[in-house]
Amino acid sequence: MPFEPIPPRRLFRRIAEQIAAMIAAGELPPGSRLPAERDLAHRLQVSRPSLREALIALEIEGLVEVRGGSGIYVRGRRARTAPAPQDAPGPFDILAARLAVEPECAALAARHAGPAGRAAVSGALARLRADRAARRADHEADRAFHVAIAEASGNAVLARIVAGLWQDQASPVSDRLEDLAVTPARRRENLGEHRAIAEAIVAADAAAARAAMRRHLLAVRRARLAVLRGR
């Protein structure tokens, strides 16, 4: 079957499923190289960042291999790892939701957090700093920091929403994007951004806390977009 234009809904998953179907049908045989990204994006009528997000998903599923400087090759029709459910949100949808919710959580935490809430935020920052200093995986410490802020906001509904967003974010595609995006320099910047958020909350400066959280999440999004635009 020919490549077909992709509707915009959950774009990267639909791109991945079309390519996976062509591999399963033998139209893209093992060892074959996919068309160049520019050409493939044109045939599918999608952006190159959306295409790269789909290729990351296919790489995780073991269907393609990305060879730097050479291209993207079909690995074969062997058993795939289970793809994400079609209704699962993509990493950039989750980041957009976090941008809508978490800056206000930070502002509310600065206004309403008592001694226990401020101590929880400071403790979560200390754990994150310790994990990064020891070069340990710090995804859980990162999650705990953001959830502590949401809990310190005093709004139980917002705390549940933030915890749910972090649960949705724990996906193979998001994890792979993070692996590619978080360089040592970005890791240092990220820690500084977290410190600025915590300091504003402890200082009860709602405007600064909101702005610091927004700057942090925009930086996270920029780093991941840079992977999709330049990979």
Q: Which residues pair with 73 in a beta bridge?
A: 33, 65
Listed in sequence order, the residues at least 6 apart from 17 whose beta carbon sits closer than 8 Å to its beta carbon are: 83, 86
**pLDDT tens for the chain, residues 1 to 231:** 667 665 545 688 889 889 989 988 889 999 999 998 889 999 999 888 788 888 888 888 888 887 777 888 998 655 455 555 555 677 888 899 999 999 999 999 999 999 999 999 999 999 999 987 776 667 889 999 999 999 999 999 999 999 999 998 887 777 877 877 888 888 899 999 999 999 999 999 999 999 999 999 999 988 888 876 654
- Tens digit of each residue's pLDDT (9 = 90 or more) over 32-41: 999 988 899 9
CA distance 36 to 229: 14
Q: Could you report the per-residue pLDDT of 158-177, keeping only the tens digit for each?
A: 999 999 999 988 877 778 77
**Among the listed residues 31, 3, 29, the one whose alpha carbon sits nearest the alpha carbon of residue 17:** 3
Would you tell me how many other CB atoms lie within 10 Å of the CB of residue 145? 22
Rg of the chain over Cα atoms, rounded to whole angstroms, equals 20
Whole-angstrom distance, CA of residue 77 vs CA of residue 82: 14
What pTM does this model have? 0.73
What one-character-per-residue DSSP string does the chain give? -------STTHHHHHHHHHHHHHHTTSS-TTPBPPPHHHHHHHHT--HHHHHHHHHHHHHTTSEEEETTTEEEE--SSPPPPPPPTTSPPHHHHHHHHHHHHHHHHHHHHHH--HHHHHHHHHHHHHHHHHHHTT---HHHHHHHHHHHHHHTT-HHHHHHHHHHHHHH-SHHHHHHHHHH--HHHHHHHHHHHHHHHHHHHTT-HHHHHHHHHHHHHHHHHHHHHHHHH-
Rounded-to-integer distance, Cα 9 and Cα 205, Å:
39
Q: What was the pLDDT predicted at 231?
A: 47
The pLDDT value given to residue 60: 80
Q: How many residues does the chain have?
A: 231
β-strand partners of 42: none
Place of tokens 């591999």: 23
- Domain spans of the chain, in order of start: 11-74, 91-230
- Write the DSSP string, 130-194: HHHHTT---HHHHHHHHHHHHHHTT-HHHHHHHHHHHHHH-SHHHHHHHHHH--HHHHHHHHHHH
CATH of 11-74, one of 1.10.10.10, 1.10.1040.10, 3.20.20.140, 3.50.50.60: 1.10.10.10
> Does domain 91-230 bear CATH number 1.20.120.530?
yes
